[in-house]
Structure 1
Amino acid sequence: MTNIAPASIPILACYNTTLDISNKIWSSDDVLATRVPLLCIQIAYNIIISSILHHIFKPFHLPRLVAQILGGVILSSSLMGKIPIVLNSLYRAEGILGVENFGNVGIMYHVFLGGLEMNCDAIIRSSKKAVITAIACILIPMLVGAGFLALEHRISGGTSLTIEGYLFWCAILSVTGFPVLARLLSGIKILYTRLGKDALAAAMLIDAYGWILFTLLIPYSNKGGRPLLSAISTLLFIVFCFCLLRPILNRVIKRRIRSDTWDNSKMLDVIIGLFVCSYITDMLGTHHVIGAFVYGLILPSGKFSDMMMETLDDFVSGVIAPVYFSGFGFRLDLKSLWNQSSFGVFPFIMMVLLATPKILSSVMVTCFFGMSARDGLGLGLLLNTKGVMAILLLSVAWDKNLLDPYAFTVMMVAVLVMTVMVSPLINVIYKPRLQFMQTQLRTVQTLRIDAELRVVACVHNANQATGMIHILEALNATRISPLHVSVLHLVKLTRHGTGLLVAQVEGGFSESICMKESESIAKAFEEFTEEYNAVRFETSSIVSSYETIHEDIYHVTEEQRGSLILLPFHKQINSEGVLEVTDTAFSDINLNVLQHPPCSAGIFVNRGLGSLMTTRMSIVVVFIGGADDREALSIAWRMAGHSGTKLHAIRLIVLGSGEAAEQEELHYDSNGMLSTVMDRVVQKELDEECIFHFRHKGVNNNDSIVYSEKEVKIQTGEEIPLILSEVDELGCDLYIFGRGSGENYPVVKNMLEWCDNPELGIMGDIVASTSFGTNSSLLVVQQYTTGTRPKPQRRPKKCNSKKNGSVDIL
């Protein structure tokens, strides 16, 4: 007889088989002829269906676990299981035992990888807020869960309540799926916000509690035996693994990795240890997955865990694990939900009520720490995300008949509903971008002189951090106007495993996200702040796909209420003084960030800009007109307040055919001519006002600021390199341009499609080109405006502007 509750599918619980008594080795039917083909069909079905459902649900950021369980729901007795030919083809009774054994091996591997991903050090150094949140989200659901369980038994008319059933019911309510939540937070792009970090820190503690509770509950759920002795022996085995086995394994594995003597054959030894630890905990009377999880925890993190994840993760998550999780969907008896006297209303109410204890707990804790109720509601919803631990607890409760089929179905559906609804509800309730856009414009130009300047500085490596520090140093932080810097180390996520689970829980670093690089960046900024008391900083690592990492930058900027995002150029200067490409993906990131940032943004092209501690800095800002030029002038004006800085502001007044071409275009576009003319009139008025304030408040009060005007003609676009060449003859250390400088003139705007680096604008692209010949660094600024800017597309054509004024079209 298989281990399936008879109340759910009694017809399939038992089956007849012919035994060959003369066969002393295989006392069963022909396994290779009957069982193996059926098992292959079942595995293939689970892989195909879970993959299809996962791709369907991926845009909604639903965990893979949901798709895997729903794959089994399709075959349940309430849906496709009603069709005999389907059920007999995929889940014949004699094949259930084989697929369950295969699934148990899969969950063992899955739990092992989960333990390998977790960070024990982060659990130990958890903050006070995370600990209190975790305790509240454990105790309150366990206390409130008793009433829900009593109500469910009264409605369903189930068997009498038992202490074991109560503990399992309450444990399922209180646990949170830490790995599932980490991937969910990354999918909805709030992993690096305050809400995301609080939820992840609390979830990690709750998950650790879940494993402890699971270890203690299993022995007491068994009939007979010595549960106390089993629990104590299992805890002693865990202590042995951490105190004796862990130091030995860490020393041996790390030595082999450092000496490059580690190969894939050594991973077989690691897998043998997995089976040994699983067998020991199962023999001690607990559960084999406890040994697998503990074994994953004691293995070293960093390069070793990354290699293990790359080798096993896709196979475990995509092939083995779906077989185990789909079995729970197959066991559901959905008909029992609407066969009660309440006609299905009570199950729905019960599922809603099951999610309330954690929400109430989170709201209470956030109010205690002075946070808003909206954050508490969002935190409670996130902590309702369920994962492997809830499934394991349900599995044991099902096998031990601690929950009747109706209670099992209600709890299983509630787990699915709570996990599925987290993403859409968070998007509705917690919208930091909408709230941020309703506040004042986040620009340097609109910042008060006595206000703190908040900058988000993005870097990919320590070399870029050094150049970024020199720009931040030039921003002239003072006691009246201090500088707050949020340093983001951008790390590419190559897969969906370790990078997310080690993501900055309470500001901690991990080897798997370039620990040495992150420490070098943090050390460089620590030395910077030691020299300037008016500067404070915080560092964090953003681990995400390069295609979506700009969304994480947005959310961190919104969280920090930044006024300026600083991005590094995708080229670095080499030993010969020439800019060479480091990674073209950096350019795509910059383009994505510039599309609709929540504040002003700037791209820094570093050609060896020096520190103001050792040299004076000469800055040139070229002003033609527009919002970006006004922002560039405002930043340069702020820099001019530093005693080691000299600023030369040059205003180019375009005359002649450039204006005629502009009027000709406006006349030709008759439909939108009026609004376009009005907008340009307003822009010119704002330009004049900005220049007026700069000349009377800046130039007249600061001897280090020089202002000049130059009348120019722009007819074909070839005049621009000549104009910039004349400016470059003055000599400077840093150019500051507006990204949209000159784009209000059609001749200049048409040149954008020929630019090699459209993120720098026309002027910036010319100065950054190698053929221009300057040694000056460059800062290109884009001012924040409401709405979305069109993303410039890269052209195969390149614009190499030379200092002699010629333009080479390649």
Structure 2
Amino acid sequence: MGTNETLLSINRTIFINATFDNYNSDPDRKFIYYNVSIDMPSKIVSDGIWGNKNYGALLSRSTMPVLELQILTIFVITQCFHFVLRRLGFPYFVSQMMAGFVLGPSLKIEALAKFKVMLFPYGSEDVLNLVTGIGYLFFLFLNGVTMDFSMITKTGKKAWTIALSSLMIPTFIGLFVCYSFMGYLQQSLGEFDGGKLPVIVVGHSGVSFPVVASLLSDLEILNSELGRLALSSAFSMDVISEVMRGFGTAVVSSLKLDSHDKGEGKGPKLALITSINYVAFMTLTIVIARPAMRWVVRNTPEGRSVKKTHTSMVILMAILVGLFGVVANQTVLGGVLLVGLLVPEGPPLGSELVKQLEMFNTWFLVPIFVTCCAMKVDVSTPISSELVLVVVTIVVVVHLVKMLITVGICRYCNMPKTDGFCLALLLSCKGVVDFVNDVFLFDSFLMSNETISMMAISVLVLGSIARIGVKSLYDPARKYAGYQKRNILNLKPNSELRVVACIHKPSHINSVKNVLDICCPTTANPLVVHVLHLIELVGRSSPIFISHRLQERLSSGHNYSEDIIVTFDLFEHDNAGTASVSTYTAVSPLRFMHDDICYLALDKLASIILLPFHIRWGEDGGVESTDENMRTLNSKVLERAPCSVGILVNRSSSSSTHQSPLMKQIAMIFLGGADDREALCLARRTIKDYDCNLVVYHLVSSQSEANWNLMLDDEVLKSVKGYYGTIENVSYEKVSIEQPSETTAFVSDIANRHDFFIVGRRNGIKSPQTAALESWTEFSELGVIGDLLASSDTNTNASILVVQQQQMPKSS
């Protein structure tokens, strides 16, 4: 066979002028022998059609053009499938596998056969598998890097119980059934298929942590209660499975060597020696690699990136450990994953490795590698009914037992039925890692063509059912849509005000503290504050939530919230007996931070959430920086918050490092509506401090019609109109506004008279005073009046608090 001839032989084992006696013991394997002639060395880059007139344009004569065309074809077919399947709720890896089935032997269409032959010349699959296989190797390494190994010690009893029960009991039942009927199975299915069924049991009893973490991230429930429990359980199950798999690989390989030596009785002894080698390999790796990487972290200045030399050394160390793992009869992937687990999670080392490797390996090479693995599977292979019945029964029984155990434990722990069922689906999910492991077993002659095709189908079915089922059954936002009124307006007299204050950057600390000061905590109306420091999750896959009152700390020894803890501890000390402060740190992905905020507000029965605005002003009054991620977060909290929300716009330039003076002149601009009533109730708390002066500007229009809202507005305004008695530090001014332009002029006129403004958001409320201004609003989250005050055209150094009252669910 010349190099200009092609052969598509993905699903067949090829031997080139060689005979492997070790594999001839498997009678169900059909071997095909070829005598192949090739040109050596092979040409990497094509000479082009002008460089060689005879075969310059033939793809089969050059390696690089073939590789590029294969990658392009795989990408196009995958995206075509994903364009359709994502609308039906299927995960992305399904599209990758379907592309492999189309390009592989599964799709037997004569019209496409010649194109497949041209696209995959003989031997080109090895190059594609090698290049993308390296990507998968680093994908596993990055999964180890992002795992927080300290979760083993932090995982609660519930997660441990679910993990151990859902792993051990299905494994025991499945293996018991297999070995009880082993003789019958080997007789009816053949010695190869019948003897390899325990591999299927072990593969389906466990769960892959990267698969669960990826699914939770895709469904945007990583920070939910269900997501945290699923992550903890999956991590524990995966670690136990990896250790068991390591010992199992060592023992089985030793026994297999003994059987090839014609049963000389050295198997048990060799298995013991190999197990000791495995333990020694793991111990030696931990003793050497972990201190070396901690040295890298210690020698990296705070806030600086790790040197390229150090990251290259860590990557090289991972590859070398993977190669040394072969001595302990382990795969290279196992050693690389072990080194990844030993990398200190998060910044600076973990985040730098993720930054350098994730994009090219995880999002480019791995999807192609999954397609290459699917090209080895022939799902159109005729399968005996006995084998189908046995394999399907094992898979169904294992997952049914796992789901029943998980749901039962969740019910015992008083979890809702729907949440328990969703957790069971998540722990039964299969994905990329599971499918690739099955293909590796197929390459190692531990699965037949028929069995691997059924395993591929089972991965597709279980992965799709898990994603579609959880997405349809679990709504993380439903628990925030409470029917209990949690706002300031409905607080009982002399009750405490509960606040959740969010901080992203050091510049937010003093501005938030000033807002808490003007809330004027007293013994009759105490203030309970929960300060939440939000940090973006980088270099790890599992989010963390720390309560500093419980004296918890990050496992890596870093404490990112020290300044916040000190500042608000002093605030509590200065307001002893009237204010109570608890500080928290949440490390999570940006798109899931709103869950941390809303969950804390729900758990602590907060009446209002304080959020910093996404724009920071400089000393000259101009915009210094903007953060669109923070703005997106604020919008999500406004939509889902279980209580009222206040967005704090700080236009003072002194909040970054210095203590700013307490603001004395406070103004509230009132137009009417639920948000303005809520803002007025908050503003009334400031008058308890006689050093503060509150001015309420009531903007009215002759075009306004009497309605129920106006009656409610008048009732709330009585407290500042002097209806119940004159208050010295409160002023009420009624301002007549007939044209929207008058509103703009009025706001500009009073912008410099006050240090602090409190306004309502009034989202979606139409009024004559602001009707024409809504189309000019730049920041919809601030409302019309808040946007006018925050505009760069308005000359002011005052801070603005825009209040939205709790959004109650609409009755059906």
TM range (shorter): 0.7 to 0.9
Counterpart of 2:9 in structure 1 is none
> Partner of 2:167 in structure 1?
138
Task: In structure 2, give the amino acid aligned to 1:624.
Answer: L
Query: Does residue 416 in structure 1 map to residue 460 in structure 2?
Result: yes
Alignment match of 1:681 (pick from 695, 702, 707): 707
- 1:189 match: 220
Residue 373 (structure 1) aligned to one of 395, 417, 425: 417
Q: C-alpha deviations, 1:195-247, integer Å up to 9, x for none?
A: 22222222222222232122112223322253332232122122112123321
CA distance in 2, matches of 1:161, 1:429: 41
Which of 495, 503, 519 is the equivalent residue of 2:543?
Answer: 503
**Aligned-partner Cα distance in 2 for 1:259–1:535:** 32
1:481-536 per-position Cα deviation (integer Å, ceiling 9, x unaligned): 7666554545567xxxx456142277788799x96644544554455456556535
Question: Is the CA contact 2:760–2:802 (under 8 Å) kept in the aligned structure 1?
Answer: yes
User: What SS does structure 2 have at the residue aligned with 1:446?
Assistant: coil
Deviations 1:274-296 (A, max 9, x none): 33211111232111111111222
Q: Which amino acid is 2:257 matched to?
A: G
Change (3 A) 1:473 1:63: farther
CA distance in 1, matches of 2:522, 2:322: 60
Alignment partner, residue 359 of structure 1: 403
Match of 2:625 in 1: 582
Distance in 2 (alpha carbons) for counterparts of 1:377 and 1:261: 43
Shift in Å, 1:555: 6.5
**SS of equivalent residue, structure 1 residue 746:** coil
Report the equivalent of 2:34. 16
Q: Call closer, same or farther: CA 1:107–1:436 in 2, change over 3 Å.
A: closer
Please report how far the alpha carbon of residue 582 of structure 1 lies from its aligned counterpart in structure 2 after TM superposition.
2.2
Once the two structures are superposed, the pairs formed by residues 631-646 of structure 1 within 5 Å of their partners are: 631-640=678-687, 646=692
CA displacement at 1:633 relative to structure 2: 1.3
Q: What is the match of residue 698 of structure 2?
A: 652
CA contact (8 A) 2:178 2:198 kept: no
**Among 374, 377, 383, the residue aligned to 1:329:** 374
Give, in whole Å, the separation in 2 of the partners of 1:475 and 1:387: 51
What do residues 29-75 of structure 1 show as CA deviations (whole Å, max 9, x unaligned)?
xx994877666554444444445545655667765444333332333
Q: Please state if 1:75 is matched with 2:103.
A: yes
Distance 1:85 1:182 in 2: 41
Indicate the SS of the match to 2:385.
coil
User: Partner of 1:133: helix, strand, or coil?
Assistant: helix
Report the equivalent of 2:140: 111
Q: Aligned AA for 1:250? A: R
Aligned-residue offset at 1:735 = 2.0
> Matched residues, percent identical?
24
**How far apart are the structure 1 equivalents of 2:284 and 2:390?**
48
Quote how far apart the aligned CAs of 1:461 are: 0.6
Conserved 8 A contact 1:176-1:387: no
Q: Is the 8 A contact 1:607 1:777 kept in 2?
A: yes
- Please tell me the residue identity of whatever aligns with 1:191: L
CA distance in 2, matches of 1:429, 1:742: 31
TM-aligned CA deviation for residue 192 of structure 1: 1.6
C-alpha deviation, 1:631, in angstroms: 0.9
CA distance in 1, matches of 2:109, 2:515: 66
* Amino acid across the alignment from 1:185: L
Separation of aligned partners in 2, 1:637 and 1:152: 78
- 1:630 offset after TM fit, Å? 0.6
Tell me: CA distance 1:623–1:84, structure 2 relative to 1, closer, same or farther (3 Å): closer
Q: What is the letter of the counterpart of residue 652 of structure 1? A: H
Structure 1 residue corresponding to 2:739, chosen from 693, 712, 715? 715
Other-structure match for 2:784: 762
1:472-621 correspondence runs (5 A): 472-475=516-519, 485=529, 487-491=531-535, 498-499=538-539, 501-504=541-544, 517-529=560-572, 535-541=580-586, 543-545=588-590, 562-572=606-616, 574-575=618-619, 578=621, 580-585=623-628, 586-587=630-631, 589-591=633-635, 593-594=637-638, 597-607=641-651, 619-621=666-668
Q: Answer yes or no: is the 8 Å Cα contact 1:624–1:741 preserved in 2.
A: no
Distance (whole Å) between structure 2 residues aligned to residue 261 and residue 763 of structure 1: 43
Tell me the distance in 2 between the aligned counterparts of 1:707 and 1:6.
97
Aligned residues: 748
Moved more, 502-511 or 645-654: 502-511
The structural deviation recorded for 1:537 is: 3.4
Deviation of 1:607 after TM superposition, in Å, equals: 4.8
| Superposition deviation, residue 135 in structure 1 | 1.9
| Distance verdict in 2 for CA 1:716–1:246, change over 3 Å | closer
Residues 200 and 147 (structure 1), Cα distance of their counterparts in 2 relative to 1, 3 Å cut:
same
- Whether the 8 Å CA contact 1:567–1:604 is kept in 2: the answer is yes
Aligned to 2:674: 627
Other structure's SS at 2:501 match:
strand
Q: 1-side partners of 2:640 and 2:415: how far apart?
A: 28
Bigger Cα displacement from structure 2, 213-222 vs 76-85: 76-85
2:773 to 744, 751, 756: 751
Match of 1:735 in 2: 757
Whichever residue aligns with residue 142 of structure 2, its letter is L
Distance 1:52 1:492, change over 3 A: farther
- Which amino acid in structure 2 is aligned with residue 428 of structure 1? S
The one-letter amino acid paired with 1:289 is L
Q: Secondary structure at the match of 2:257?
A: coil
2:802 is aligned to 780
Please state if 1:311 is matched with 2:342.
Answer: no
- Contact preservation (8 Å) 1:486, 1:537: yes
Say if 2:458 is the partner of 1:386: no
Alignment of 1:690 with 2:734, yes or no, is: no
The equivalent residue for 2:501 is: 457
**Inter-CA distance 164–397: structure 2 relative to 1 (3 Å threshold):** farther
Measure, in 2, the Cα distance between the counterparts of 1:478 and 1:463.
27
TM-aligned CA deviation for residue 575 of structure 1 = 4.7
Cα distance, 1:479–1:212 mapped onto 2, change above 3 Å: farther
**2:759·2:786 contact (CA, 8 Å) conserved in 1?**
yes
Q: Per the alignment, in what secondary structure is the counterpart of residue 672 of structure 2? A: coil
Please, what TM-score do these two structures have when normalized by structure 2? 0.78
The one-letter amino acid paired with 1:629 is D
- Number of the residue aligned with 1:671: none
Of 303, 310, 334, the residue aligned with 1:290 is 334
Whole-angstrom distance in 1 between the partners of 2:89 and 2:613: 32
Query: Which AA in structure 2 matches 1:72?
Result: G
Which structure 2 residues correspond to residues 70-469 of structure 1 after superposition, within 5 A?
70-80=98-108, 84-90=113-119, 94-146=123-175, 157-159=188-190, 165=196, 167-222=198-253, 223-224=256-257, 226-252=270-296, 254-255=298-299, 264=308, 267-301=311-345, 302-335=347-380, 340=385, 354-387=398-431, 389-391=433-435, 393-437=437-481, 439-449=483-493, 453-469=497-513
Match for 2:772: what amino acid? N
Change (3 A) 1:595 1:462: same
Say if 1:52 and 1:233 are closer, same or farther in 2 by CA, change over 3 A: farther
Letter in 2 for 1:572: R
The 8 Å contact of residues 8 and 333 in structure 1, kept in 2 or not, is answered as: no
Q: Which moved more, 1:527-536 or 1:105-114?
A: 527-536
Name the CA shift for 1:164/1:454 in 2 (closer, same or farther; >3 Å). Answer: farther
State the Cα distance separating 1:781 from its structure 2 match: 0.9
Q: Which residue identity does 1:186 align to in structure 2? A: S
Determine helix, strand or coil for the equivalent of 1:470: helix
Tell me: CA distance 1:73–1:231, structure 2 relative to 1, closer, same or farther (3 Å): farther
Q: Which amino acid aligns with 1:214?
A: R
Tell me by how many angstroms 1:623 deviates: 2.3
Q: 1:685 to 1:9 in 2, by over 3 A?
A: farther
Structure 1 residues not aligned, in runs of 5+: 24-30, 663-676, 789-810
Letter in 1 for 2:251: Y
In structure 2, distance between residues paired with 1:8 and 1:402: 10
Alpha-carbon shift at residue 572 of structure 1 (Å) = 3.5
2:525 and 2:590 mapped to 1: Cα distance? 35
Q: Which piece of structure 1 moves more, 172-181 or 47-56? A: 47-56
1:173 positional shift: 2.4
Separation in 2 of the partners of 1:705 and 1:427?
54
